[in-house]
Structures are given as structure tokens and as C-alpha cells.
Amino acid sequence: MAGSPTHSPAGIVSALKAGTTAGSGAFSGVLSTPYGFVALNMAVTMLVGIVFGMASARIAALITPSPEAAAVDEHAEGTRPSPRPA
């Protein structure tokens, strides 16, 4: 409806000033997301963060050598095989 008064710039501005239109923004008194959805989103995000953090720590522990193994590697890199007598 191209001729509708709400599609003109003046109609849009007057509709937004009314405060009853959806999408006028959170600071005009209309919240775009219900509080329950925000709380659920925050809870799921924190839970997923904790799970990923624990998984990251376990993976790091698996691929990081122990101090004893690191000390053995240091000594092994410095040694060279002695020549065998012919």
C-alpha cells in the first residue's frame, strides 16, 4: 500500500513517537527481547563456556608433556650416538 499514511516519512515518525509500535527500541520503552529469553541465553552461554573451558584444559593436559618427559627429551637431544668400531 504505497499511499498508506504510515508509509510516508511523517507517518513513520508519528508512529514511532507514539511508543506503542514494535521495534522502536529498548530505550523508548519497548523491549525487543523478553527477559526470560535473555536469562536463558545468558545461562546457556555460561554453561557452554564452562564445558568448553573444561574440554580445553583436558586437551591441553593431554598434549603437554610432563616435566619428567621434558627433561628426558632435553638430554636425548644433546646426546649423539658414538661411532661403532669398524
Domain extents in the chain: 35-63
Q: Using 50, 70 and 90 to split pLDDT, how confident is the model at 78?
A: low
Is 5 a residue whose pLDDT tops 60? no
Confidence of residue 71 (pLDDT cuts 50, 70, 90): low
Tell if the pTM clears 0.85, that is, is over it.
Answer: no
Residue 53 has pLDDT above 90, yes or no: yes
The whole-angstrom separation of Cα 27 and Cα 14 is 17
Q: Quick one: residue 23, left, alpha or beta (phi over 0 = left, psi -120 to 50 = alpha)?
A: left
Percent of the chain with pLDDT over 70: 50
Average pLDDT over residues 19-48: 75
